[in-house]
Chain A
Amino acid sequence: MAGPSQDSPVLATSPQFKENARRAMADPGLQKALTTAKGAFLQRRAAAVGRLPEFERLREIGRDIKNHAIANLDFYLETYATNVERAGGKVHWCSTPDEARAAVLKICRDAGARTVTKGKSMISEELGINDHLERHSIAPIETDLGEYIIQLRKETPSHIIAPAFHLNREDWEESFRQMHTDLPKDRVFHERRDLLTEARSRLRGKFLAADVGITGANFLIAETGSSVIVTNEGNGDLTQTLPRVHIALASIEKCVPTLEDATSLLRLLARSATGQDFSVYTTFSTGVRREGDLDGPQEYHVVLIDGGRSDMIGTEFQDMLRCIRCAACMNHCPVYGATGGHAYGWVYPGPMGAVLTPSLIGVEKSGHLPNASTFCGRCESVCPVKIPLPNLMRHWREREFERHLRPGALRTNLDIWAWFAKRPGLYRAATRLAIGTLGLFGRNKGAFRKLPLAGGWTEGRDLPVPQGGTFMAQYKKRQRAEALRR
Chain B
Amino acid sequence: MSKDAILGAIRRGLRRGELPEDQKAMLRARMAAPPRHLIPARSRVSRPEQIALFVANIEKEFGSVERIPDLDAVPAAIADYLAAQNQPPRFAMAPNPELQGIDWSSRPMLQFEARKGLPDDVVSLQSAFAAIAETGTLMLPSAPIRPTTLNLLPDVAMVLVRASRIVGAYEEAWDLLRAEQKDALTGGFMPRNVMLVTGPSRSADIEQTLELGAHGPRMLHVLLLDDDPAALAGS
Residues of A within 8 A of B (CB): 33, 36-37, 40-41, 52-54, 57-58, 61, 65, 71-79, 81, 83, 86-88, 93-95, 99, 143-146, 149, 162-165, 167-169, 172, 192-193, 195-197, 200, 203-204, 207-208, 222-226, 232-235, 237-238, 241-242, 252, 257-261, 263-264, 266-267, 274, 276-296, 304, 306, 310-315, 318
Minimum CB–CB distance from A12 to chain B (whole Å) comes to 23
- Chain B residues contacting A257 (CB-CB under 8 Å) are 27, 30-31, 34
Q: A193-B211, A252-B6, A263-B174 are in contact. Are A278 and B196 (CB under 8 A)?
A: yes
- Chain A, residue nearest B117 (CB): A295
Q: A196-B214, A232-B203 are in contact. Are A78 and B116 (CB under 8 A)?
A: no
- Of residues 153 to 175 in B, which have CB atoms within 8 Å of A's CB atoms? 153, 170-171, 174
B207 touches A315 (CB 8 A): no
Interface size class of B (residues with CB under 8 A): 35 or more
B215 touches A203 (CB 8 A): yes
B198 touches A280 (CB 8 A): yes
Minimum CB–CB distance from B89 to chain A (whole Å) comes to 23
Which one, B7, B27, B37, B40, contacts A52 given CB within 8 A?
B40
Which one, A79, A93, A234, contacts B2 given CB within 8 A?
A93
Decide if the interface of chain B is mainly helix, strand, loop or mixed. loop
Minimum CB–CB distance from B22 to chain A (whole Å) comes to 12
- Chain B residues contacting A167 (CB-CB under 8 Å) are 207
- Chain B residues contacting A225 (CB-CB under 8 Å) are 186, 190
Determine if B14 is an interface residue (Cβ-Cβ < 8 Å): yes
B202 touches A232 (CB 8 A): yes
B13 touches A54 (CB 8 A): no
Minimum CB–CB distance from B217 to chain A (whole Å) comes to 8
- Chain A, residue nearest B195 (CB): A283
A241 to B14, CA, bound (A): 38
Which one, A79, A242, A259, contacts B174 given CB within 8 A?
A259
A81 to B203, CA, bound (A): 33
7 A-B pairs closest in CB distance: A234-B216, A313-B13, A233-B214, A314-B13, A310-B9, A146-B205, A258-B34
Which one, B7, B185, B202, contacts A74 given CB within 8 A?
B7
B13 touches A86 (CB 8 A): no
B10 touches A73 (CB 8 A): yes
- Chain B residues contacting A58 (CB-CB under 8 Å) are 37-38
A318 to B215, CA, bound (A): 37
